[in-house]
């Protein structure tokens, strides 16, 4: 994972490529261990963390990463699971505000719906960090910073891999994530941004399967019934839906990875297993281990040290295809 961390430093135990925004060059830097750190005098600050849900190994790894980094940094973390409902998330943020927590971290299910509750937090001087997915708000000062993957770039990387793989010609089914979520919007747009220059690549179906395995399977079954003979590629916005699609393709008597190319995003261990088995062709990494970065930012925020803190701190990830899967699988952490 690489961090595009505009004009700021620091990521534990990783080699980060820092694109300096407003600064002249990019540089590679190696940063020492311990991404999370304690700022003096803020030990045992209480942080409220609102998660989207717990539906996949990706999400579980994300939650664990935040919990572990909070503990390592000496914070008292209060956790709320939105259970895939925006309404639950907004209520949880309101409740953290009433409890007077020191800071709030939100992994927002959807981009919209946040203005009112974030205004409340601002009035109470409770800083908010947006993690993993982005928000669209009237006033950007309603949150301090966003930390997460560069999901726009992921869709682009997926499309670029595909263009090469199929020599610019293929009929594609797109399985979209949940509607209104920033990674869905970004992965949908950026994929098209690339393929618009390759008229031989045609999207013949595009449907939401909500980032879920069973929905990926169900939606793919229906598309196979309608357009089975035409489908050459499945582009899924996450690995979980791709694994569901693989099951549907097999149930329809076809070979995923051979008869139909399957391409997805996240880089989960299960995706590597599917690649090693020859059923998935490529996954673009989207690293969920964002806890250390989040706690590093929280440390600065609580210490009042936000000068120069970028509004967006985006983690950039890599493309892995079948050719490297067997070599890399053991090192996968989620």
Decide if residue 286 touches ligand GYE (CB under 6 A): yes
The site for ligand GYE, by CB under 6 A, has a size of 14
Question: Least distance (Å) from ligand GYE to the CB of residue 37?
Answer: 25
Q: Which of 10, 82, 108, 183 binds ligand GYE (CB under 6 A)?
A: 183
Nearer to ligand GYE, 236 or 249 (CB): 236
Nearer to ligand GYE, 97 or 294 (CB): 294
DSSP structure class, residue 7: T
Structure token pair of residue 251: 């149930």
Nearer to ligand GYE, 39 or 151 (CB): 151
Question: Least distance (Å) from ligand GYE to the CB of residue 106?
Answer: 12
Decide if residue 133 touches ligand GYE (CB under 6 A): yes
The radius of gyration of the chain from alpha carbons, rounded to an integer in Å, stands at: 20
| Pairing of the two strands 145-149 and 128-131 | parallel
Residue count of the chain, please give it.
334
The interface region with ligand GYE, picked from 29-37, 51-59, 219-227, 269-277 by CB under 6 A, is 51-59
DSSP readout, 266-307? E--HHHHHHHHTTS--EEEE-----HHHHHHHHHHHHTT--T
Decide if residue 58 touches ligand GYE (CB under 6 A): yes
Question: Least distance (Å) from ligand GYE to the CB of residue 149?
Answer: 5
Q: How far is CA 63 from CA 50, 132, 288, in A?
A: 10, 11, 9
Decide if residue 147 touches ligand GYE (CB under 6 A): no
Q: What angle do CA 63, 67, 72 make, to 5 degrees?
A: 145
Nearer to ligand GYE, 132 or 174 (CB): 132
The interface region with ligand GYE, picked from 22-30, 54-62, 63-71, 197-205 by CB under 6 A, is 54-62
Q: Which of 4, 8, 51, 56 binds ligand GYE (CB under 6 A)?
A: 56
The interface region with ligand GYE, picked from 5-13, 29-37, 53-61, 84-92 by CB under 6 A, is 53-61
DSSP readout, 138-189? S-GGGSSEEEEE-HHHHHHHHHHHHHHHTTT-EEEEEEE-STT-HHHHHHHH
Q: Which of 132, 174, 296, 317 binds ligand GYE (CB under 6 A)?
A: 132
Q: Which of 4, 8, 59, 147 binds ligand GYE (CB under 6 A)?
A: 59
Residues 217-276 that bind ligand GYE (CB under 6 A): 238, 240, 265-266
Decide if residue 211 touches ligand GYE (CB under 6 A): yes
Report d(CA 134, CA 118) in Å as an integer: 14
**Sheet containing 233-236, strands listed edge to edge, beginning at the edge strand earlier in sequence:** 201-208, 170-176, 233-236, 261-266, 282-285, 319-321
Kindly tell me the burial class for residue 330, based on how many C-beta atoms sit within 10 Å of its own C-beta (0-12, 13-18, 19 or more): exposed
Question: Least distance (Å) from ligand GYE to the CB of residue 232?
Answer: 24
Q: With H, G, I as helix, E, B as strand and everything else as coil, classify residue 196.
A: coil
Decide if residue 150 touches ligand GYE (CB under 6 A): no
Structure token pair of residue 162: 């595909």
Residues that bind ligand GYE (CB under 6 A): 56, 58-59, 132-133, 149, 151, 183, 211, 238, 240, 265-266, 286
């Amino acid at each position: 994972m690489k961090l595009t961390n505009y004009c700021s430093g620091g990521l534990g135990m990783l080699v980060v490529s820092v694109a300096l925004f407003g600064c002249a060059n990019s540089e590679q830097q190696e940063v020492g261990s311990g991404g999370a750190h304690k700022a003096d005098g803020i030990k045992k600050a209480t942080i409220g963390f609102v998660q989207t849900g717990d539906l996949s190994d990706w999400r579980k790894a994300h939650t664990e990463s935040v919990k572990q980094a909070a503990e390592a940094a000496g914070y008292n973390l209060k956790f709320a699971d939105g259970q895939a409902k925006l309404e639950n998330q907004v209520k949880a943020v309101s409740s953290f505000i009433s409890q007077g927590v020191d800071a709030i971290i939100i992994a927002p299910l959807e981009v919209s719906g946040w203005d009112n509750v974030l205004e409340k937090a601002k009035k109470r001087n409770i800083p908010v960090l947006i993690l993993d997915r982005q928000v669209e708000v009237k006033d950007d000062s309603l949150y301090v910073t966003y930390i997460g993957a560069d999901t726009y770039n992921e869709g682009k990387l997926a499309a670029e891999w595909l263009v090469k793989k199929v020599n610019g010609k293929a009929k594609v089914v797109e399985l979209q994530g949940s509607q209104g979520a920033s990674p869905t919007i970004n992965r949908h747009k950026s994929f098209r941004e690339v393929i618009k220059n390759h008229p031989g690549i045609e999207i013949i179906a595009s449907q939401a399967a909500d980032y879920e395995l069973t929905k990926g399977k169900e939606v793919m079954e229906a598309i196979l019934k309608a357009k089975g003979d035409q489908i050459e590629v499945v582009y899924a916005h996450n690995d979980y839906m791709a694994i569901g699609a693989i099951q549907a393709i097999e149930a329809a008597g076809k070979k995923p990875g051979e008869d139909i190319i399957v391409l997805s995003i996240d880089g989960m261990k299960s995706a590597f297993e599917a690649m090693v088995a020859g059923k998935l062709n490529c996954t673009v990494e989207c690293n969920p281990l964002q806890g250390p970065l989040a706690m590093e930012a929280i440390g600065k925020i609580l210490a009042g040290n936000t000068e120069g803190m970028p509004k967006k701190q985006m983690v950039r990830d890599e493309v892995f295809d079948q050719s490297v899967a067997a070599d890399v699988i053991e090192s996968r952490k989620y």
